[in-house]
């Protein structure tokens, strides 16, 4: 299945979409600081969700005009390190 990471420029914007996701009963959406490897502008925030929920989350963002940055697939390599692939 895997995990997706949607990056935002502010915690307020990420929090807004997380609240909308909760209202729509999208399960498994959590907010976190973006890893340095995917944060282009310093301190950013991200929503982490299962890959199967990602299309619904992005549709919700479009519907409510919640702007987000890049979207990544998060995976763990053989050495146990988290890696990110831009979608």
The CATH number covering residue 25 comes to 3.30.70
Dihedral pair phi/psi, residue 63, rounded to 5°: -60, -40
Task: Round to whole Å and give the CA distance between 31 and 48.
Answer: 6
Domain that residue 53 falls in:
3-86
pTM of the model: 0.87
* Residue 86 reports pLDDT greater than 80: yes
Per the structure block, which two tokens stand in for 71?
Answer: 């979207």
* Residue 57 CB neighbour total at 10 angstroms: 25
Domain count, the chain: 1
The per-residue pLDDT for 35 is 83
Task: Round to whole Å and give the CA distance between 34 and 74.
Answer: 12
The per-residue pLDDT for 32 is 92
pLDDT tens, residue by residue, 18-61: 999 999 999 999 999 888 777 766 668 999 999 999 999 999 99
């Amino acid at each position: 299945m895997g995990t997706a990471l949607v990056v935002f420029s502010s915690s307020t914007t990420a929090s807004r979409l997380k609240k909308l996701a909760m209202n729509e009963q999208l399960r498994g959406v959590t907010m976190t600081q973006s890893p340095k490897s995917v944060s282009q502008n310093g301190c950013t925030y991200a929503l982490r969700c299962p890959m199967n929920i990602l299309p619904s989350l992005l549709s919700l963002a479009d519907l409510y005009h919640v702007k987000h940055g890049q979207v990544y697939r998060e995976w763990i390599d053989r050495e146990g390190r988290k890696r990110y692939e831009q979608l």
